[in-house]
Structures are given as C-alpha cells and as structure tokens.
Amino acid sequence: MNDLHYIGFDVHKKSIQYCVKLADGRLVREGRIAATHSAVAEWLATQHTPWKGALEATMFSAWIYDQLLPHAVELHVAHSAMLKALATGKHASDRLDARKIADLLRANCLPSIWMAPPELRSLRLLLRYRQLTVRQTVQIKNRIASTLMELGVDYDSSRLHGKRYYQDLLTRLGHLPPPVRWLLELSRGAIDMFATTDRLLLRQLAQDAALRQRVARLQTIPGVGQITALTWALETGDPHRFPNASHAMSYCGLVAALQESAGKQYRQPLSRKRNAHLQTMLIEAAHLAPRYHPHLRALYEKVKAERHSGAAAVAVARKLTAYLLAVDKSGQPFELRAVDPPRDNTASPAGPPSEALAVARQPTPSRVRSAAAAPLTGPGARRAVANQALVGSEGEAPRRSRTTR
C-alpha cells in the first residue's frame, strides 16, 4: 500500500479545506469543498485510492466524521489544543492547516481523541439540553424572588416555588401593579413548562435499555442518583478508555495542573481543560454524598478540618470518580469489603477497621486512612496529612501545594 493517501481536513462551518499527500510527503492534490452532505458525497466519489484521514475536533466535525468514516481505511479526530501546540507556525491559513494535519497523520504524530458513536452522541444531546433547562429554571426562580423583594413582599422562601403556595401568594397580593402580576404569572408558567420538558427528556433517556441497565448499576453507589449516573455514562462513553482512575479524574477536571521545571513541581488550581458537565455534576454530588456514605463523610470532615469545604468536596468527588469507574468497568453493583490492614508495624496504631471498594479488583488500603493514622509531628506535618487525605485508594495524584513566595 505504498500509494496510500493521507488526507488532512481543515473543517469550518461553510467549507472544508483538504490536502492529499503520499507517505513520502509528496503533494497529490488539495482544494476546498462546501460543508454540505451532498458536496462531501461528490468529493468521496472522486477518491478512488485507499486513504487515511484526520480532521480537527470542532463543533462541525461530528457529522463530517460520520460521513467520511465508512470510506476511509482509518479516520482520526485530532485534539484541538495539542494540535495547535504541535502545528503552530509563523503563517496560518486553511491550506497550511490542512497540510500540517496531513503531515502529522503520515508521520503517526497526530494527537487523536476518542470519538463517541452517533447513538451515544444523540443521547448526550438530550441530557445536555436537560441541563440547560435546569439552569434556566434556577434563573427564573431567582428572578421571581428578587422581584418580590424589590416590592417588599413578605414570603416563605422555603415554600415560594410550590405551585399552591405561589398561587395563594399572588391572590393575597392584590395591590401588585398589573404588569408585575402578569410577569410573575408568566414566570410560573415557564417553570411548569421546563418541569414538563425535564420529565419528557428523562423518560426518553430511560427508553434505551443498555443505558438503563448501566445507570441502575451506577446508582448502587451510595450518594449517586439518576442524574449523576446518567451524566457519567453519557459523558464518559466507554469507561475502558481510561487506564486508571487518575486519567478519569483528569478528564473530569478534578486534578490540579502540574508545572515542573528544574526538579521542582508546582501545583496550580484545578485545570480548566476538562469535561465541564462532569465536573459540575460530580462537585454537586460530592456535597450530598457524605450524607449517605459514612466513609465519604469521614473523608469530607477530615479534609474540611484540615483545609476548607471546597477542598473536601473535591476530595469526595475524586473518590466518587474512582467508585464510578470501578463499577462501570466491572459491570457489577457497588460493594464494600473489608481489606487487610497495612503490614507496616512501625507506623502508629491504626484506627477503626477499614473498608475499600472491591468491585473490579481488590485495592490497597486508602492513603486517607494512612494520613489519619500518621502522627502530627514536624513543621509541615499538617500540610502533608491534608495532601495525603486528598489521595484515594485508586492512585490519584495529590492536590496542589503552595508555591514559594
């Protein structure tokens, strides 16, 4: 297959620039086609030689990938940020970008990403639309409360958004100006509409049998509800693409960015290169999970005492990520089993009997328990214990440390 073609695609909303090269770098042809299904089909009819292709990950790449995939020997989607770092140069144009993508592909240096199948992407769109309606519902509720406060209305905040209480409140407030009353009634109607939309979307997601079974297994984890399980299942896709829990935590945005130079390491704030949907959902679940799980509650209280509630929520979210990944990979319900204590007899006396997740494999004792048993001696002991408490039994990276001033 010496005549195999390597094709780089630079995709945009209205056009696609392509570049066809041979393995030795010789340019075969290049050009531009319209970003429509019919134009792509016409171009595919002219490509008779076997080819490998690559395109950059953008919001327009999904349908192009689906249409090109059946006709290619291999088709890859490149990571946008890493591609920019590898292919940056003095000059930039669609033609040069397509050439660079083709060169990286034939040199086997393309930073490829995992592409979800079309069925999964369709379900993911439903869930993300549901998250949009929830955010809008919260905004409308906050606007209703602020409008009543501007008018000096006394109301019960815990019952304000109940349908019956809200109608009784509007009935008692006969002195409200007609435009304001109309606005409050319209806002209530929008809340009811979004609630109906929410139920319909969840009902539609529940019709997928494979997804329904997967979500049911994930919900066996204490503190993980339907929405958290749905978000994990649809945003991660195939759990086996994560080799360990550390990679999954990085994908969820629960790992601090690492800067290392001249033998020194510095931990930055949580990286913004993450799946924002998963990060938001896991942090929200981390504030509620300690109510249902004694071990998560102990972890939360310990880290909160050493640092603050934000760090404690991140620690719990990291532990939840390890649990979710283990259950999802094994295909078995969540289960806690007792594990043997550490063999190190020189350490301080151990605390209460420890338990750990034993679904996919038998983990080692958690470093959280090791940190709890460590004596607080030395000037940096409390900081070391706090850092260790953020590291779970699945081998997660430690939290950031303070930079030197």
- Tens of pLDDT, residue by residue over 185-205, are 999 999 999 999 999 999 999
Which range among 83-87, 311-315, 330-334, 382-386 shows the weakest confidence by mean pLDDT?
Answer: 382-386
What's the pLDDT score for residue 293? 87
Which of 10-24, 72-86, 340-354 is the most confident on average? 10-24
Burial degree of 397 (CB within 10 A; 0-12, 13-18, 19+): middle
Phi, psi of 227 (to 5 degrees): -70, -40
Q: What is the pTM of this model?
A: 0.77
| Mean pLDDT score across all residues of the chain | 83
Q: In a 10 Å sphere around its CB, with 0-12 CB exposed, 13-18 middle and 19+ buried, how is residue 379 labelled?
A: exposed
Q: Among 82-86, 251-255, 274-278, 302-306, name the one with the lowest average pLDDT.
A: 82-86
Query: How distant, in Å, are the alpha carbons of 18, 97, 98, 169, 343 from that of 93?
Result: 12, 6, 9, 61, 61
pLDDT number for residue 120: 94
pLDDT the model gives residue 367: 36
Which pLDDT score is estimated for 337? 65
Rounding to the nearest 10 degrees, give the CA dihedral for residues 56, 61, 66, 71. Answer: -40
Whether 267 has a pLDDT exceeding 80, the answer reads no
pLDDT, tens digit (0-9, with 9 covering 90-100), for 32-78: 999 999 999 999 999 999 999 999 999 999 999 999 999 999 999 99
pLDDT band at 391 (very low <50, low <70, confident <90, very high): very low
Q: How far apart are CA 173 and CA 83, in angstroms?
A: 60
Pick the residue with more confidence: 374 or 316? 316
Name the one residue in this structure whose structure tokens are 């109309």.
182
Tell me: pLDDT of 275 over 50.
yes
pLDDT exceeds 50 at position 87: yes
pLDDT band, residue 346 (cuts 50/70/90): very low
Output the pLDDT for position 218: 95
Nearest to 64 by CA among 79, 74, 54: 54
Q: How far apart are CA 343 and CA 345, in angstroms?
A: 6
pLDDT of residue 65: 96
User: Largest Cα–Cα distance of the chain, in whole Å?
Assistant: 84
Tens-place pLDDT, residues 358-367: 333 333 333 3
- Euclidean distance between CA atoms 60 and 99, whole angstroms: 19
For residues 314 and 303, what is the distance between their CA atoms, to the nearest angstrom? 10
Distance, in Å, from the CA atom of 337 to the CA atom of 360, rounded to the nearest integer, reads: 12
